[in-house]
Chains A and B, each alone.
Chain A
Amino acid sequence: MPTCCNEFSRSSLLRQAVAEAGAGLPAIEPGMPIPAGTGLDRRSFVLRSTGLALAVYGAGALRLPLFEEGVLEAAAAAPSQPVLVSVFLDGGVDSLSLLAPVSDPDYRRLRPKLALPDSVLAFTEDARLRWHPSAASLRTLHLEGKLTVFPTIGYTDADQSHFTSRHYWEVGATNPGLRTGWLGRYLDRAGRPDNPLQGLSLDGELAPPLATTRAPVAALRGADQYRFWAPGVWGEVEREMMETLAPLGNARGRGDRALAAIGHTSTQAARLRSQLAVFNGGSQPGNRFGSPVPYPEHRSSFPQRLAGLAAMLAAGLPLRCVALRAYGMYDTHADQPDALAQGLKLTGDTLLAFQRDIEARGLADRVLTLVWSEFGRRGEENGSDGTDHGAAGVALLMGTRVRGQMIGELPRLHDALDRDGNLKASVDYRSLYTSLLEQWFDFDAAGAIPNARKYRRLQLVK
């Protein structure tokens, strides 16, 4: 029996298909929104100044080589630019397990099998709550004042389709027809016409929150981006072969322009290859990004994506909005204890490592990380060691500049649940978005969030 729901896997597949086709969505059920950014053209591009292979979206009429200069110019301003990292917990994380109301009399009634023990990891801001045992790293961040918790965030009349609710979060409005992401609209207004790194998806395909109409944004194409693959060659022979690229290119000197071009280029290419070997995996295991702190070692790419992100920021690349999926499958209809523990553990440990990393690199005051999920889960567990789709869920805001005080509340479960048995939202997610845009990016939220004035502003940044 699959542990996640059919709709969930289908919507993942659809998104995959959309990203790969780059245009159009296969016929899906009526009423499902089309993912933001679906209509953007996509072109592949190697950013020579960085050696990153990117898929650039929304390049429009701009010729790709022009991005070289745009990125370099933007990089000149980068050291002072704020950065927002969006980390998505895919599937709807169970907020009542992440922060479990262990002393609430209704908790054990609703969760007879899944309830967590009450001894572990106290949540200092609310004595009734305990962190999930696998969320010790998040607790550490919280104790240090670097994590703001939104225990019940969402919107009224929550849609319980993964696809639709996620779309609402991505576009920053409960509007199925909106085709641009909330950060994409920010970049359209405040971004540059020539710097695709300003909106960078780290999962290899456009993250819908970054979908723009005009401003170019990019997705890293994959792990091996500047890699010289030699068929039928490996080991020591391959190593020697790569060492030969530059001497070979220069074998005939640089006596005329063509020979100079090949000599120069092969020298550059060989140098770039070795510089980027860290980004390109391959034979060197271990610390590929020169990270000053250890990241969790895991087959998932999530730790290395954040490690790479820290390295890119340290290298001065002009990133502004970054989006990626966290490790884990949070659509825990069955077998929740294991799945959730694994996801939370690696995600939390990686986020802590990332925070430590940017602190050690002196970048921490420039970076905020938003962790979100499309909804929470049903208060009452189901019959298969799992929980079904709910309404309000949890969000986290991480960084040295956050205020670190809980926003919203988790009332007694008796009062916290709606008629369907789902958590009611104490904070609207658009309050979070508008406040972030204004306080972090110093940007008038009305330019990115429909009806921005309607939403109460939250004090997020100190």
Chain B
Amino acid sequence: MPQTAARTPVYRGDFGPEQAERLLWRAGFGPRRGQAEALAKKGLDGAVKALTAPGRQRFIGPRPRDERGRPLAPRDAWGHDHLWWLDRMVRGNRPLMERMTLVWHDWFATSNEGVGSQNLMIRQNALFRRYWLGSFQQLLLAVTRDPAMLLWLSGTENSKWAPNENYARELMELFTLGAGRGYTERDVREQARALTGFRNSWKEGIGPYRFRFDRERHDVGMKRIFGRRGRFDWQDACRLCVRHKSHPSFFVRKLWGYFIPVAPPRATQKALERRYVAGRYAVRPIVSAILQHPLLYEGPRMVKPPIVYTAGLLRGAGRGIDTESWTWLCANAGQQLFFPPNVAGWNDDRWLDTATYLARWDIAGRVTRNETLDPGKVQAPFDADKLLDRALAFWGNPRLSPATRRVLLAYTRRALATANQNWKRRSYPALVENSLRHLIAVSPDLQTS
């Protein structure tokens, strides 16, 4: 396929710290102090390359620990799985890899609610990380035989004697084709037959283990899937889906939606589909194209998912994981890692409501809380502009829109004006600085990107 056919528009405007900051939020978890400026210097092309082809994996900052300073036990202790991954988001130097791992976690949404094993969930997580920008077909094959997925969607209960359609249906509806897009109920049943054969052992005290394909349990008979006949097995089931004519459009549209909140223009959509097929289902070129698309920089803003919001605040503040609270705080905000609400994943359109808003408030407060200024010890300036700048520095100097700045400055002046006695004039600036840190974190500028 000629290269020209697969060309997509590339953003040609200024690529300064503002654009780099948005890129870091959409393709990762926001900038660390100074990171947006550094990335901007690489230019758009260099910046996207730095994200899609990062250097050796490194973790920056103190190791994660619980309140008592003990290391995490992500495979055993409740909530530590969440902390473990959050830490990778906060300290890792490969933000897009963690972000794509999150994309796949949402795409193949598996909940530990149904799996019941942090160990298997983390094993699945490693799989997502391994295939992060690789071949979607390879990823799909690996997910299909992944133990957590086999438990979650009844893969090991699916045998030739008792076919179970759970995985077959979601394979097409949610993972590769989309509901009602070119398959029938008969295809679901036949796919289920093709997918038979997996099993696992179970032992008291260990739980499920030794996941394997057992030819005895597999239905070797003829199947008819998407109008084709064959003695299909689970690998055929996956390949048939990926090669189905509805798959590229489903794939491109879904992947696009993780980065840009409006639909791709028709020409872009088509070009990306062609590039996807021509690239034998490689994800990297598609993600690269999306990250360079003008709509990412000029289009509307997106509400940050709670985990991105949380990781980003911690990165900005230069703070590591030092409390187990992040698990329930993020759960309150609507996103506990390894516990998506159902197999369709999280609903990106519904992050915000009055309850999750309060949870985000609490998340911001949990970051500011450890370093609040004590008005008895700290003399903060009685000056609105200086207080706002100081508060912004707490978060690594994120950019604020002029409108948000105006509201915060007006608030600051009002709050300072309540200091009608000498002791208040001495102590209120520190309180105002504390409050500004908190307010900045819940402003539209930081809750969206």
Report if A and B associate in a common complex: yes
- Chain A residues within CB distance 8 Å of chain B: 44, 46, 48, 51, 63, 226, 228-238, 240-241, 243-245, 247-249, 251-253, 255-259, 261-266, 268-269, 272
- Residues of B within 8 Å of A232, CB to CB, are 368-369, 372-374, 430-431, 434-435
A234 CA to B374 CA, complexed, in Å = 12
- Residues of B within 8 Å of A51, CB to CB, are 354
Query: Are B444 and A249 in contact (CB-based, < 8 A)?
Result: yes
B365 within 8 A of partner (CB): yes
- Residues of B within 8 Å of A269, CB to CB, are 354, 357-358
- Residue from A51, A245, A256, A263 whose CB has the most chain B CB atoms within 10 Å: A256
B259 within 8 A of partner (CB): no
- Residues of A within 8 Å of B365, CB to CB, are 229-231
- Residues of A within 8 Å of B431, CB to CB, are 232-235, 237-238
Query: Are B407 and A266 in contact (CB-based, < 8 A)?
Result: no
The 8 residue pairs across chains A and B that have the minimum distance between CB atoms: A232-B372, A256-B300, A232-B434, A236-B418, A46-B355, A231-B369, A251-B407, A258-B301
Query: Are A261 and B373 in contact (CB-based, < 8 A)?
Result: no
Query: Are A261 and B352 in contact (CB-based, < 8 A)?
Result: yes
Residues A248 and B353 in contact in the complex (CB < 8 Å), given A240-B414, A258-B261: no
Query: Are B406 and A233 in contact (CB-based, < 8 A)?
Result: no
- Chain B residues within CB distance 8 Å of chain A: 261, 300-303, 332, 341, 349, 351-355, 357-358, 361-362, 365, 368-369, 372-374, 401, 403-404, 406-408, 411, 414-415, 418-419, 424, 428, 430-432, 434-435, 438-439, 442-445, 447-448
Question: Chain B's nearest CB lies how many Å from the CB of A246?
Answer: 10
Question: Chain B's nearest CB lies how many Å from the CB of A68?
Answer: 10
Specify the chain A residue showing the minimal Cβ separation from B440. Answer: A248
Specify the chain B residue showing the minimal Cβ separation from A51. Answer: B354
A351 CA to B396 CA, complexed, in Å = 56
Query: Are A237 and B415 in contact (CB-based, < 8 A)?
Result: yes
Partner of B362, one of A229, A233, A237, A243: A229
Question: Chain B's nearest CB lies how many Å from the CB of A427?
Answer: 46
Query: Are B407 and A263 in contact (CB-based, < 8 A)?
Result: no
A257 CA to B431 CA, complexed, in Å = 33
Selected A-B contacts with CB under 8 Å, 29 pairs:
A44-B332, A48-B354, A226-B354, A228-B358, A229-B365, A230-B434, A231-B369, A232-B368, A232-B373, A236-B428, A237-B418, A238-B431, A240-B414, A240-B415, A240-B418, A241-B438, A241-B439, A248-B411, A249-B444, A253-B403, A256-B261, A257-B261, A258-B300, A258-B303, A259-B300, A262-B444, A265-B354, A269-B354, A269-B358
Residues A251 and B404 in contact in the complex (CB < 8 Å), given A230-B434, A237-B432: yes
Query: Are A259 and B435 in contact (CB-based, < 8 A)?
Result: no
Question: Chain A's nearest CB lies how many Å from the CB of B8?
Answer: 22
A63 CA to B113 CA, complexed, in Å = 13
- Residues of A within 8 Å of B403, CB to CB, are 251-253
Residues A241 and B358 in contact in the complex (CB < 8 Å), given A232-B372, A259-B444, A265-B352: no
Query: Are B362 and A262 in contact (CB-based, < 8 A)?
Result: no
Question: Chain B's nearest CB lies how many Å from the CB of A311?
Answer: 20
Residues A231 and B368 in contact in the complex (CB < 8 Å), given A240-B414, A241-B415: yes
Query: Are A252 and B439 in contact (CB-based, < 8 A)?
Result: no
Query: Are A262 and B447 in contact (CB-based, < 8 A)?
Result: yes
Residues A257 and B369 in contact in the complex (CB < 8 Å), given A226-B358, A247-B407: no
Question: Chain B's nearest CB lies how many Å from the CB of A315?
Answer: 17
Query: Are B435 and A263 in contact (CB-based, < 8 A)?
Result: no
Specify the chain B residue showing the minimal Cβ separation from A47. Answer: B355
A123 CA to B432 CA, complexed, in Å = 61
Question: Chain B's nearest CB lies how many Å from the CB of A158?
Answer: 42
Specify the chain B residue showing the minimal Cβ separation from A44. Answer: B332
A248 CA to B441 CA, complexed, in Å = 11
- Residues of A within 8 Å of B443, CB to CB, are 248-249, 251
- Residues of A within 8 Å of B404, CB to CB, are 248, 251-252
- Residues of A within 8 Å of B374, CB to CB, are 232
Would you call the interface of chain A mostly helix, strand, loop, or mixed? helix
Query: Are A258 and B353 in contact (CB-based, < 8 A)?
Result: no
- Residues of B within 8 Å of A248, CB to CB, are 404, 407-408, 411, 439, 442-444
Partner of A48, one of B301, B349, B353, B401: B353
Query: Are B411 and A241 in contact (CB-based, < 8 A)?
Result: yes
Query: Are B361 and A228 in contact (CB-based, < 8 A)?
Result: yes
- Residues of B within 8 Å of A230, CB to CB, are 365, 434-435, 438
A226 CA to B369 CA, complexed, in Å = 19
A262 CA to B356 CA, complexed, in Å = 11
A364 CA to B301 CA, complexed, in Å = 52
A229 CA to B448 CA, complexed, in Å = 22
A259 CA to B443 CA, complexed, in Å = 10
- Residues of A within 8 Å of B351, CB to CB, are 261
Instruction: List 8 other contacts, CB 8 Å, given A264-B352, A269-B354.
Output: A230-B435, A232-B430, A241-B438, A252-B403, A252-B444, A259-B301, A261-B351, A266-B442
A234 CA to B438 CA, complexed, in Å = 13
A231 CA to B433 CA, complexed, in Å = 11
A236 CA to B417 CA, complexed, in Å = 10
Partner of B444, one of A44, A46, A251, A257: A251
A235 CA to B432 CA, complexed, in Å = 11
Question: Chain B's nearest CB lies how many Å from the CB of A258?
Answer: 4
Residues A259 and B415 in contact in the complex (CB < 8 Å), given A229-B365, A233-B434, A253-B403: no
- Residues of B within 8 Å of A243, CB to CB, are 411
Partner of A258, one of B302, B424, B432: B302
Question: Chain A's nearest CB lies how many Å from the CB of B313?
Answer: 14
- Residues of A within 8 Å of B357, CB to CB, are 265-266, 268-269
- Residue from A232, A252, A263, A266 whose CB has the most chain B CB atoms within 10 Å: A232
- Residues of B within 8 Å of A63, CB to CB, are 341
Partner of A272, one of B354, B401, B430: B354
- Residues of B within 8 Å of A238, CB to CB, are 431, 435
Query: Are A251 and B401 in contact (CB-based, < 8 A)?
Result: yes
A265 CA to B351 CA, complexed, in Å = 10
A235 CA to B341 CA, complexed, in Å = 40
A375 CA to B415 CA, complexed, in Å = 57
Specify the chain A residue showing the minimal Cβ separation from B416. Answer: A237
- Residues of A within 8 Å of B438, CB to CB, are 230-231, 233, 241
A261 CA to B332 CA, complexed, in Å = 18
Query: Are B448 and A262 in contact (CB-based, < 8 A)?
Result: yes
Query: Are A262 and B303 in contact (CB-based, < 8 A)?
Result: yes
Question: Chain B's nearest CB lies how many Å from the CB of A225?
Answer: 10
Query: Are B435 and A241 in contact (CB-based, < 8 A)?
Result: yes
A269 CA to B361 CA, complexed, in Å = 11
A261 CA to B448 CA, complexed, in Å = 10
A264 CA to B418 CA, complexed, in Å = 28
Question: Chain B's nearest CB lies how many Å from the CB of A257?
Answer: 6
Specify the chain A residue showing the minimal Cβ separation from B368. Answer: A231
Partner of A233, one of B341, B354, B355, B435: B435
